[in-house]
């Protein structure tokens, strides 16, 4: 069981004795140990002097702060967010866009990429097409309005769109954007990261994987991908084992 009590060297209820980062898989409602000497982070609450989990995910003890990194998260739109969406429907002057939020966003014709006659929305953006847009406003019900009026906002006509959980964007981008810059440089691709956990990856296929399998860039890319895959698999296996224990 992932409790702070079980992670101490003396097996008491005082919590972890060292300052090293500790990670465990926990379930909502699980007792994580005593509150004394600890600060509450995201995903935990204090009940009767005990720390209890409110989310399913990894418990992180970093110094004296106890928090939980959820395994899955939903996107909650905020004004100014850069998002990638799919057009799911339209009326004579409005598009309905799936941005991964609880409710579809609305894209009025006045905020679209170009002018169109009344009733001609599908001639500008058809159902099923992907767009790069920005959240302009969010209502109390979390329904939102997006716009394509702005530099770089457009229909996505090439490349691929991939998805990750929004709370993992920080790991993808890295400190001061270092990891994302390295990804762009090594792949020679345009990579646009949306705040809703969707990534637009666009580039020349031959730039990503050279046609010659013995090419040094191809070998380096394979080695890099193999190393990343092994690291992720080892991390996942270790987390599963810790969760079982």
Q: Are the C-beta atoms of 147 and 97 separated by less than 8 Å?
A: no
Rounded to whole angstroms, the Cα distance separating 2 from 225 reads 32
Is the model's pLDDT at 63 over the cut of 60? yes
Q: Each residue of 72-94: pLDDT tens digit?
A: 778 889 999 999 999 999 998 89
**Any bridge partners for residue 79, and if so which?**
none
The whole-angstrom separation of Cα 150 and Cα 145 is 14
Q: What is the mean pLDDT of residues 17-41?
A: 76
Single out the residue of 102, 224, 123 nearest to residue 166, CA to CA.
102
Report whether 188 contacts 204 (CB < 8 A).
yes
pTM attached to this predicted model:
0.64
Q: Are 146 and 139 in contact (CB under 8 A)?
A: no
> Tell me: the pLDDT tens digits for 105-122?
999 999 998 887 777 888
Model confidence pLDDT, tens digit, residues 140-187: 877 899 999 999 999 999 888 988 888 888 888 888 888 888 888 888
> In 10 A of CB 134, how many CB atoms?
19
- Per cent of the chain over pLDDT 70 is 73
Predicted confidence at residue 134, as pLDDT, reads 95
Q: What is the pLDDT of residue 115?
A: 80
Tell whether the model's pLDDT for residue 59 goes beyond 80. yes
Return all residues near 43 (Cβ < 8 A) that are at least 6 apart: 53, 54, 55, 57, 67, 68, 69, 70
């Amino acid at each position: 069981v992932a409790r702070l009590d079980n992670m101490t060297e003396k097996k008491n209820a005082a919590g972890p004795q060292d300052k090293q980062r500790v990670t465990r898989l926990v379930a909502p409602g699980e007792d994580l140990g005593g509150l004394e000497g600890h600060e509450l982070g995201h995903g935990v609450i204090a009940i009767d002097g005990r720390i209890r989990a409110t989310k399913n995910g990894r418990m992180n003890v970093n110094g004296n702060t106890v928090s939980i990194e959820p395994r899955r998260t939903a996107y909650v739109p905020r004004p100014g967010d850069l998002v990638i969406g799919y057009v799911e429907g339209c009326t004579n002057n409005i598009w309905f866009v799936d941005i991964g939020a609880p409710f579809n966003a609305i894209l009025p014709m006045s905020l679209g990429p170009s002018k169109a006659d009344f009733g001609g929305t599908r001639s500008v953006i058809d159902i099923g097409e992907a767009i790069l847009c920005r959240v302009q406003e969010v209502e109390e019900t979390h329904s939102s309005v997006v716009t394509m009026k702005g530099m770089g906002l457009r229909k996505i006509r090439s490349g691929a769109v991939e998805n990750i959980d929004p709370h993992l964007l920080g790991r993808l981008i890295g400190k001061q954007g270092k990891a994302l810059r390295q990804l762009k440089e090594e792949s020679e691709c345009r990579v646009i990261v949306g705040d809703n956990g969707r990534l637009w990856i666009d580039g020349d296929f031959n730039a990503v994987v050279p046609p010659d399998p013995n090419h040094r860039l191809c070998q380096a890319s394979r080695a890099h991908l193999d190393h990343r895959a092994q690291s992720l698999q080892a991390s996942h296996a270790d987390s599963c084992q810790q969760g079982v224990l």
